[in-house]
Structure 1
Amino acid sequence: MLLAIPKSEIIERQSKFHSSMADRKIDCAILFSVTDIFYLTGFHFHPTERPIGFFIDPNQKTHLFVPALEHEHAEEFANVDFVHSYPEYPGLRHPMEYFKDALVKADFTGKVVGYDAIGYGSSMGYRGPIVSDFLDAEFVSIKGLIEEMRFVKSSTEVELIKESCRWGNLAHRLLQKYSKPGLSEIEITSKASTEATMAMIETLGKDYKPHGNTAFALFRGQVGEMSAFPHAVTQNIVLKKGDTLVTGAAADVWGYHSELERTMFVQEVSKEQEKYFQYMYEAQETAFKAIKPGVPCSSVEQEVQKYFKEAGVQHLVQHHTGHAIGLLGHEAPFFDLGDQTIMQPGMVFTVEPGIYVRGLGGFRHSDTVLVTENGMEMLTYYPRDLASMVCY
C-alpha cells in the first residue's frame, strides 16, 4: 500500500514547474506558499514567524531556505539540491539578509524572477522587507501557477484521497453510533475520533504519515437549531431527541484530504425535516449528474440553482455547490456560477449543496468525487438515504 508521494513524482513536479517557467520566459522563481513548497519538495513544516522559502535558480537547481532549527529536518526529508539556513528570527541579522546572500550567490541578480508572494508573510509577529527591496531583478507574479498544477490529481494522489475516504467513513460510523440524546457533541466526537484514529494507525502501521489530521468526525456546532449556520463552531451542545445534525468526517493521508458530511437526526424525523432533507438530497443528485469533463464548473452550479429555484427553496441557499480538494480542504476550482474552469479527468471535488432553515436546522451532505473520462466516480461511500441517517 502506497502511503506517500514517491520522490520520482516530486521530481517530475519540479520539472513541470520549470517548464511552465520557461514558457513564461522566467529565469528563476521564489515561493513562500507552505502548500506549494510541500507539493514541490515533500517537506512538511509548520510556518511560524521564522521565514521559510523555496527557490529554483537559473541552472534549474532547487533550494530550500529555512531557520537553523529546521535545517537537519529539511536535509532529511526535502527533495531539493541545497538547503540554506539562518540562525533565528529576528536575530542580530535579519533572515532576509541571509536570503539575499543565497539569491545573489544563486545568480538571481538581473534575472526575470517569478514569485508567488513578494515577501514572506506571517500572522505570528513576522516583520521584514519584501524581496524587491533588496534584489536587483525583474519580478513577475506567478501566483496560482502551482495551484493550477494541483488541479488534476495523479493516480497516486487519488489513491491517497481514497485512503482518506476509508478512514473518514469509519470515523463517521462511530460518530453516528455514539450520537445519543443526553451526550455532548465534544464527548461524542472525541470518542469517535480517538477510536477511528487508533484503528487507522494500527492498520496502516509505521509508514502512515498524516501531515495533517488523523481520523476525525465532528459536528462543528451544527446541532439542532445551530445546524442552520453553515460554518458554526463547536458549542459543546448536548444532543436531544429530534435534533438535526450536520456532521463531518475525514482523515489526512500524507497531507491529502477528503470530505464526508451528512445530515442526520437524533432518533426521530419530523415531516418538515424530511421535506428539506429531500430537497437537499435531490440537489446533490442533480449535481452528480452534471459533473463531466469538458464543461465548466459553473454548469454544475447552474443545474443545482435551477433545481432549487424550481423547488421554491432558493432563498434558503447560502453557498455554492462545492470545491476542489486535495492538499487543502478547500482548493480551486469551485462549483460556482463565477468559475469557468473546464472540468478535466483527475480533478477531485466535494459536492455539497445545502439549504438552511432558521429554527429547524441545516441540510447538507458532502461527498468527495473524482472526475473521470465519462462523468464522475464517487470516492466517499457512506449511506445517503434518509432511513440510514437516523441515529438510534
Structure 2
Amino acid sequence: MASVLSLLRAGGKFLRHASWRYSSNDVTAFVENRTMKIYNGEKAPPGLFSSAEIEGRITKLRNYMQQEGLAACLLTSIHNVCYYTGGFIYCAFGRPYGLLVTPEKHVSISALIDYGQPWRRSLHDNIIFTDWKRDNYYRAVVEELGDTRGAIGIEFDHMDLQRFKKLKDHLPHSNELRDICEATMRMRMKKSNEEIAAIKNSAATADIGARACVEALGENVPEYEVALAGTQAMVRNIAKLYPDSELMDTWVWLQSAINTDGAHNPVTTRKIQKGDILSLSCFSMPQGYYTSVERTMFLDHCSDAHLKIWEANVAVHKRGLQLIKPGVKCSEIARELNELYAQFNLLKYRTFGYGHSFGVLCHYYGREAELELREDIETVLEPGMVVSMEPMVTIPEGQPGAGGYRELNILVINDDGSVDDITGFPFGPEHNIIKK
C-alpha cells in the first residue's frame, strides 16, 4: 500500500486516480503527527562564529540558570534564538518559535514549513511541530521538557498574554515561569572578541554601501534606486566575507526632503532634486548582526539655513564621540549633549536618544534597552560594549532649514579602556555636499 508521503509527492492525485490504493488510517496517522525530528543534510558550516564562541554563550546561560534555580529556559525572541543557536534566524509568519535550554539539552523549536533548515543552523538539536492540530508548538515544548520540574525562565518582554497562558496551561508540573529578558539582554550587551570582529566587518560593509549610494545619487534619481545600489553592494560584500552565512535583511534607507523628518521613514519613489536635504542610512546585517552608517547629505548645494543647523548637529555629534568612554553613565552623556543642543536653540527639535548598543538586533526585532544613551538609563559604559553616537534633530516643514539631520558612528570600548571609532565614512558639510 502506498504511504501517505508517497501519495503527497504525487501532488494529491491519489484522491482522483483510481489506481491509487490508500487507507484512511494512513491519513489519520499523518495528521495526528504533532512533532517530529528531521535531520536533512549536514550541519551548516560556521557562519560568523566558531562553535566554541556559541558554547561559551550557552555555558554562561546555564551558569545563570544554576545561580537562579532555573530548571530550564525557553527563549522565544528572534535575537535570543539567534544568539544562543549560533545563527538560526527564524521567520515566524504568525507561528511561535523557540529555543529550549536545560542543563542537558539545547533544542530549537520550529515549524514544519522550515523543514531541516533550523536544525542545520542550530548548534545542537531541533524539534519540529506540525500545523495539523492547534498548539502543537506547546506540545513540542512539553515533549522536550519531559519530567523537568522547577522554575522555567521565559522572556516576558516577548511573550504575549495569550502565549503565556497557553504555555502555563500545557506544562504538566505547574512550573513557575520567571522573567529572564533583562538577564539575557545584559549577557548580550558585552561583546566577545569574535563578536567585535564581526561587528567591525559589518561596519566596514556599511561604509561600502554608503559609497555605492553616493555613486548612484543624481538629479531625478528615485530614492529607491539609490537604496538598491547600496543594498546590493553590502550583500555582495557580506557574501564575500562570510561565504557560509545566510543573507537576510541588509537594507538602505535613503530619504529626501520632507521624507527625512523621521529616522525610520521608508524608501519612496520620490525623485531627488538639487538642493535636497538627504538622510542616508546603510544597514549591514550579516546573519543577524546589525550595524549601520547614517549621514546627512545634500545634492549639489546646501542653503545657508540648512548649513547652520547641519553644522550645529555635527558639533553635537563630535562632542558625543568624545564622551563615550568607560566609566561614564549613559544618562550623563545625554544630559551634557542636551545642554549643547540648548545652546544652539535646537533641543526642542531633538527626536530620540543619542545612541544605542549593537549586536544581534534589527529594525524588526531586538533591542538592548539598558544600553541606550538616554536620560533615564543609568548603565555605566564598560569594555566590551559597542555603542553608537547618533544625534538627530528635525526642523518642521515650512521653517528655514526644514528636514531631518542625523549622523551615526559606531564605537567599540576596548579592554584597555581605549575607544575605537569603527565607522570610516566621513561626515559633515565638507564631505557630503554631493556634486554631480
Q: TM-score, normalised by structure 1?
A: 0.89
Task: Output the CA distance in 1 between the equivalents of 2:115 and 2:76.
Answer: 17
How far apart, in 2, do the equivalents of 1:67 and 1:197 lie? 27
Which residue of the partner structure matches residue 49 of structure 1?
94
Percent of pairs with identical residues: 21
The structure that has the greater radius of gyration is 2
Deviations 1:199-238 (A, max 9, x none): 553x43633433x334x4331xx31133233332223111
Given the alignment, which residue of 405, 413, 423 partners 1:363?
Answer: 405
- Give the structure 2 partner of residue 377 of structure 1: 420
1:37 paired to 2:81:
yes
Number of residues paired by the alignment?
Answer: 377
Secondary structure of the structure 1 residue equivalent to 2:69: coil
- 5+ residue gaps, structure 2, are 1-45
The equivalent position to 1:14 in structure 2, one of 58, 73, 77, is 58
Deviation at 1:321, TM superposition (A): 0.5
Q: Say if 1:261 and 1:30 are closer, same or farther in 2 by CA, change over 3 A.
A: same
Residue 175 of structure 1 contacts residue 218 of structure 1 at CA under 8 Å; is this kept in 2? no
- Cα distance change, pair 40–238 in 1 and its aligned pair in 2 (3 A): same
Residue of structure 2 aligned with 1:290, choices 298, 323, 334: 323
The structural deviation recorded for 1:324 is 0.8
- Change beyond 3 A, Cα 1:192–1:11: closer
- Give the letter aligned to residue 433 of structure 2: V
Partner residue, 1:86: 129
Question: Separation in 2 of the partners of 1:388 and 1:148?
Answer: 37
**1:133–1:200: structure 2 CA closer, same or farther, 3 Å change rule?**
closer
CA positional deviation for 1:93: 6.7
| 1:267 aligned partner | 300
Closer, same or farther: CA 121–68 of 1 in aligned 2, 3 Å: farther
Preserved contact between residue 290 and residue 303 of structure 1 (Cα < 8 Å): no
1:331 matched residue in structure 2: 368
Equivalent position SS for 1:180: coil
> Residue 306 and residue 21 in structure 1: after superposition, are their counterparts in 2 closer, same or farther (change >3 A)?
same
What CA distance in whole angstroms lies between the structure 1 residues aligned with 2:200 and 2:54?
20
Distance 1:190 1:76, change over 3 A: closer
Alpha-carbon distance change, 49 to 227 in structure 1, aligned in 2, over 3 angstroms: closer
| Aligned-partner residue type, residue 25 of structure 1 | G
Equivalent residue, structure 2, for 1:101: 143
Partner of residue 236, structure 1: 269
CA-to-partner distance for each residue in 1:359-389, whole Å, 9 max, x for gaps? Answer: 3211111111112343421111111131210
Alignment RMSD (CA, Å)? 2.4
Question: Which ranges of structure 1 fall in alignment gaps of 5 or more residues?
Answer: none
Say which SS state the counterpart of residue 257 (structure 1) adopts. Answer: strand
Q: Kindly provide the CA deviation profile for residues 168-190 of structure 1, in whole angstroms up to 9, marking residues without a partner as x.
A: 11111121122111111112222
* Residue in 1 that maps onto 2:189: 151
| Closer/same/farther in 2, CA of residues 256 and 98 from structure 1, 3 Å limit | closer
| Matched-pair contact (CA < 8 Å) for 1:96–1:128 | no
Which of 98, 102, 107 is 1:63 aligned to?
107
Partner of 1:239, secondary structure, is coil
CA contact (8 A) 1:118 1:130 kept: no
Cα 1:354–1:128 shift into 2, 3 Å: closer
Question: Do 2:234 and 2:284's aligned partners in 1 also have CA atoms closer than 8 Å?
Answer: no
- Partner in structure 2 of residue 165 of structure 1: 203
The separation in 1 between residues aligned to 2:57 and 2:325, in whole angstroms, is 26
